[in-house]
Structure 1
Amino acid sequence: MVLGTEKTRPETVQDYSRLDAGDTVTPEELTRVERRLLATGLFQEVHVSTQPTGDGRARVVLQVQDKASWVVAPTFSVSNSNIGGGVLYAESNLWGRSKKFAAAVQVSTAESGLFVGFLDPNLFGFPPLRLSFEGQLRSDRVEEYQPGASAKVPEVRRRTRLNSASAASELSVMIAERVRVGAKYRLMLIDAQDPSQDTPVTEPAFEPGPVQRDASLRLMMGIDTRQNLHAVMEGLNIEGSLELSNPGVGSQFRYQRFGLLYRHGLRFFEEHNLVLRGEVSLGVDLPFHQEFVAGASSLRGFIYRQFRGDTRTSFTAEYHFPLFTVRSLSFRGVAFSDTGVMMWRSIPEDRQLRDVTGRVVRGYLEDSKDGVGSATVAQGLGLGLRLFLRSVVLPLVGVDVAYGVNSGEIRFYLVAGVNPS
């Protein structure tokens, strides 16, 4: 029996409970059902109980309280070399069936564009099956900085404008509530402009010319037991991935990307949360627009996308703790440490990488060096504030202050809303 729903359809609640008539339930299983329902993000409160019906049977009662499912909100971000904002519309419970839709427009100094996305986390009423679609129109101002992490104000060596349009779809299945297997296909049209003439390097990082088609197939497999229970994330995620781009999948490029991702959330003292994230990414023959980057949101204490390479290793530790609550609005603090290692494993002797048509898709800076001995190791430490609204699907508001250990600089970051990427 489902009680308390206003928008969410009762069959959606039942789907996520994963209970059917005739199932044997224990107190432990009722606790798991309650956690499953909370982890959907659809409900403020969830209570699961039983009512005896005779003959040794019982009725399971699922009492829920819906969240407000949609929001129209401004988005705003401030970090070194990237300031901007926009507007977001998001619906997290389309037709009462937990389908999710988002559309956003963003204008900033580094990247501007339009994003549209749809996610069905309960495909055909079967929660283990997920299907998503997304599309983007984007214009990036890509800046390359002098190598190293010790400069207080890194010099911009080259500035390139990249325009793109992309569409992607992903299908994944969860096996036994812990093993996820998925595949994602992405199609992108990329248009590189001539580099800025007011920087020290004016040779192109990506040879201008006709628009090129970049398509890739990404395969993923891993363990995922994470659950977001209001402001606390619990569980483990270990995922391996392989992304292939070549003419066989409809691409004019030929490259590969390999990734290993680790995420882990641990709860302490009810509302305290230690969140760990580690990642190793390796690329082979990556064109300019597919290289790995780090800085700002991915490596606090440094400039947005300050570091580039074909190999990236990163580790982040965050400790979240409650400060105070005003009605349904919770203020939470966070202490964090970000570490990143970026490098080029191999740079061609002529410092130019070409695609299958012979077009230069990466012209490396003269002071870029390859090999382990030339790797950049960067470390950031800091404190932040997070606002969490329990009753509404509200975009995150966060403020971070980070100290770049290498440079000795203190940098501030503000995010209001959801980053469409």
Structure 2
Amino acid sequence: MNRRWVAGYLALAVGLHASGAVAQESPPPESSPPAEAAPSGFQPAPTPEPERMVVGEVVVLGAEKTRPETVQAYSRLGAGDTITSEELTRVERRLIATGLFQEAKAHTSPLGDGRVQVVLTVQDKASWVVAPTFSFSRANIGGGLLYAESNLWGRGKKFAAAAQVSTAESGLFVGFLDPNLFGWPPLRFSAEGQVRSDRVEEFQPGPSQEDPEVARRTRLNSASIAAELSAMLFERVRVGAKYRLMAIDAYSPSDDMPVTEPAFEPGSIQKDASLRLMVGVDTRQNLHAVMEGLNLEGSLEWSDPGVWSDFRYKRFGLLYRHGLRFFEEHNLILRAEAVTGTDLPFHQEFVAGGNSLRGFLYRQFRGDTRLSLTAEYHFPLFTVRSLAFRGVGFSDTGMLMWRELPEDRRLLDVNGRVVRGYLPEAKGGLDGATVAQGVGVGLRLYLRSVVLPLVGVDVAYGVNSGEFRFYLVAGVTPG
């Protein structure tokens, strides 16, 4: 099952973003008398520092489900702190960025002893949803049911469970996210588990095919659990570690396809365990339908018998994400990624196509190295009561390749089992690289009381193939 289906329901944007502008006075008209020269040694008066106030207490009003101590923890304010009016604005942004509140306001009132009382007034969002989910693209059609709770026990904990049946992948998923472990927002813990049955199609190489031909079809069944612990330092630097354990069972490929040599040798169930370390800068904030801030991240993941795995591989990644706000409600979102791996088994290769590279079929391209760039411009169309209609224009570009293929076109695991048999037409190096681009437009429907879009529709044009592809997702964000 595609974990991106429900990852959005568990996502928590954190960080800080501020902007400012400097105004310049126009020069005086020519008819104005010349200004007198400043006396020698004259220094302009310094700009006064913002008045700092000492917090005596923090009071929370308006919260119906969210516990007051949770609101205060997200505000990162406590007795004895010193603040300014500008910092109160940042507090409001922090609270909105949690996704728990429709509105959040912060103001002060004097206590009479030189200190101030900070009053946080919030309006809770509906914290849970039971929703049908539906996705449609040519190579993957299906639907399911999802339950998500974004404010367990009024403490901001998040839980999601989903079932999905589709032509490409079906299964069950459960996930839990604690974005303020032990009541401390800088510390975050997540756990997830899934059981899935995956029909993996490999296509003949080439992005210019109008009707890509399936060369091999393989069934993979798997079950996995994972846990991640991360910490946010100085409100912008995140470090984390994730451990994943998977059991994978491969079947013989379909015998009605051109290639019947296995991509993954059938046999006993194998263990795939890995440890992933990451570090990055993250100042993103999701302010209702607009994402602001910057995310730069580097990661290293490895799998070997030392972490209880039957495989031996590594994956390296660099990620850039940036959200820019224009004209209050316009949003430019940029995403670039470079990932590469060594000795990747079939089920851990990088893929592109479908929602990750619109204009092409779901998982149409594969490789052990991938470069991608996505640019999306979101803009408001109109609003009906609390339902907002937003448009999006986008461009997706991707490059996938195998850096080098074994001479016998087979990759073995630590036990000598074939875990990747490459297609006869596959080529290694830059000569075999695939570069594809899709451009298009889409529509998003947002409800202010729900943090994610209700419906997403995209129409994409594959520049290489000249074909139009249509994508519809209900209940989740495309891609």
Class of the TM-score when normalised by the shorter of the 2 chains: over 0.9
Q: Would the aligned equivalents of 1:71 and 1:394 in 2 still touch at CA under 8 Å?
A: no
Distance 1:393 1:144 in 2: 36
Distance 1:326 1:168 in 2: 41
Residue of structure 2 aligned with 1:150, choices 208, 213, 218: 208
Counterpart code for 2:124: D
Distance 1:276 1:420 in 2: 15
Q: Deviations over 1:196-240 (max 9, x none)?
A: 011000010000000000000000000000000000000000000
Residue of structure 1 aligned with 2:125, choices 64, 67, 70: 67
SS in 2 for 1:289: helix
SS in 1 for 2:93: helix
| Residue aligning to 1:184 | 242
Q: Would the aligned equivalents of 1:274 and 1:320 in 2 still touch at CA under 8 Å?
A: yes
Residue of structure 2 aligned with 1:11, choices 47, 50, 69: 69
Q: CA deviation at 1:23?
A: 1.1
Deviates more, 1:116-125 or 1:410-419: 410-419
Q: Would the aligned equivalents of 2:456 and 2:477 in 1 still touch at CA under 8 Å?
A: no
| Residue aligning to 1:209 | 267
Alignment of 1:29-178 (within 5 A): 29-178=87-236
Q: Would the aligned equivalents of 1:397 and 1:417 in 2 still touch at CA under 8 Å?
A: yes
Q: CA deviation at 1:55?
A: 2.9
| Residue aligning to 1:363 | 421
Q: Would the aligned equivalents of 2:445 and 2:453 in 1 still touch at CA under 8 Å?
A: no
Counterpart code for 2:130: V
Distance 1:219 1:387 in 2: 36
Distance 1:269 1:29 in 2: 23
Residue of structure 1 aligned with 2:293, choices 211, 235, 249: 235
Counterpart code for 1:263: R
The answer to whether 1:331 aligns with 2:389 is yes
Alignment of 1:256-295 (within 5 A): 256-295=314-353
- TM-score (ref. length: structure 1): 0.99
The answer to whether 1:219 aligns with 2:277 is yes
Distance 1:74 1:47 in 2: 34
Q: Would the aligned equivalents of 1:260 and 1:280 in 2 still touch at CA under 8 Å?
A: yes
Q: Deviations over 1:77-117 (max 9, x none)?
A: 00121000000000000000000000000000000000000
Q: Would the aligned equivalents of 2:399 and 2:434 in 1 still touch at CA under 8 Å?
A: yes
| Residue aligning to 2:9 | none
Distance 2:105 2:79 in 1: 19
Higher strand share: 1
Distance 1:288 1:57 in 2: 63
Q: Deviations over 1:7-39 (max 9, x none)?
A: 000000000000010211101110110000000
SS in 1 for 2:248: strand
Q: CA deviation at 1:53?
A: 1.5
Distance 1:287 1:420 in 2: 27
Counterpart code for 2:394: F
Quote the sequence identity (%): 80
Distance 1:22 1:386 in 2: 44
Counterpart code for 2:339: S
Counterpart code for 1:402: A
Q: CA deviation at 1:393?
A: 4.8
Q: Would the aligned equivalents of 1:68 and 1:393 in 2 still touch at CA under 8 Å?
A: no
**RMSD value, Cα:** 1.1
SS in 1 for 2:277: strand
Q: Would the aligned equivalents of 1:274 and 1:318 in 2 still touch at CA under 8 Å?
A: yes
Q: Would the aligned equivalents of 2:355 and 2:478 in 1 still touch at CA under 8 Å?
A: no
Q: Give the direction of change, closer, same or farther, for the CA distance of 1:191–1:419 in structure 2 (3 Å limit).
A: farther
Counterpart code for 1:122: N
Q: CA deviation at 1:52?
A: 1.4
Distance 1:403 1:394 in 2: 25
Q: CA deviation at 1:418?
A: 3.2
The number of aligned residues is 421
| Residue aligning to 1:248 | 306
